[in-house]
Every structure is written in C-alpha cells, then in structure tokens.
C-alpha cells in the first residue's frame, strides 16, 4: 500500500511541475520565469528541466561566440544549432510526457555542472 501512496505523491509532484518544466524550454525569458516560479514551489521535476534548459541556453550562447569565427566557426555553428534544436525538442517532449530524462548528448553533463542551482 505504501508504494501506491508514494507513487501517487510522485505523480502529483510531477504533474504540478509539468507546466513550469514546459515554460523552461520556451526562450530565455521562459527559462527565467520558470526559475522564479520554481523558487516558490521547489518542485524537483521542474528543477530538473530548468537545469536541462539552462544547459541548452548556455551551449547556444557558446555556439554563437564560436560562430563569430569566419568559415570554420560558421560550419561548427550551423551543425551545433541543428544538434541543439534536436536536444531542445527532446527536452521539451520529455517535459510534456512527464519524463525526467537528460537531453541527448550533453544532458548528463548539465546535471553534473548545474547540480547546485
């Protein structure tokens, strides 16, 4: 009986954080809004997706800096943007489906790097 109660609690917590998690993937402003909203509620599911979204955003900023380098930087930037788009879509799908899975490629690193947020 305890497992059912714990599972129900976890599902409720995930459902409550789902909206915040989805907002986190909608632009940098959405990430900031989700962070502020989650500071009040302290939802673990939302925090996880905020960390993943923050990692994607910071990687995009780094890629834009690399994109300033002529030719080679442009090529790396183009490939990187396509990879980031894939990572962003997968993160958003995970948030919508209430899954707490890292985004492909760099998701595990984001968990490690931003664990103190």
- Give the tens place of pLDDT for each residue, 22-64: 999 998 999 999 999 998 888 999 999 999 999 999 999 999 9
Q: Rounded to two decimals, what is the model's pTM?
A: 0.84
Rounded-to-integer distance, Cα 113 and Cα 100, Å: 17
Where do the structural domains in the chain lie, given as residue ranges?
A: 2-113
Q: Residue 40 has which token pair?
A: 């009040």
Q: Residue 39 has which token pair?
A: 């500071």
Q: Quick one: 117 exposed, middle or buried, by C-beta within 10 A (0-12, 13-18, 19+)?
A: exposed
């Amino acid at each position: 009986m305890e497992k059912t109660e714990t599972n129900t609690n976890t599902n409720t917590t995930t459902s409550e954080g789902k909206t915040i998690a989805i907002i986190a993937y909608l632009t940098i402003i959405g990430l900031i809004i989700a962070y502020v909203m989650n500071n009040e509620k302290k939802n673990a599911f939302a925090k996880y997706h905020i960390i993943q979204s923050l990692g994607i955003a910071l990687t995009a900023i780094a890629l834009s800096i690399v994109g300033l380098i002529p030719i080679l930087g442009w090529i790396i930037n183009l490939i990187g943007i396509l990879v980031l788009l894939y990572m962003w879509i997968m993160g958003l799908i995970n948030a919508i489906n209430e899954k707490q899975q890292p985004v492909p490629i760099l998701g595990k690193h984001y968990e490690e790097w931003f664990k103190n947020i």
